Amino acid sequence: MDALDYRILTQLSDNARRPFAELARELGVSQPTVAER
């Protein structure tokens, strides 16, 4: 796991029902990147 994976997990631990689009926008990556990780 790299830093991006940990950032995604941190965001999801706050609210696991957040859409991939919202996470991607906040993290500065694409939706498919969030979905794959």
pLDDT at position 23 is: 96
* Token code pair at residue 5: 């994976």
Residue pointed to by tokens 């993290």:
27
User: 1-37 burial, b for 16+ CB within 10 Å, e for fewer?
Assistant: eeeeeebbeebeeeeeeeebeebbeeeebeeeebeee
pLDDT at position 31 is: 97
Express each pLDDT in 1-37 by its tens digit.
Answer: 999 999 999 999 999 999 999 999 999 999 999 999 9
Q: What is the pTM of this model?
A: 0.80
What are the residue boundaries of the structural domains of the chain, listed by start? 3-36
Q: What 3-state class would DSSP assign to 36?
A: helix
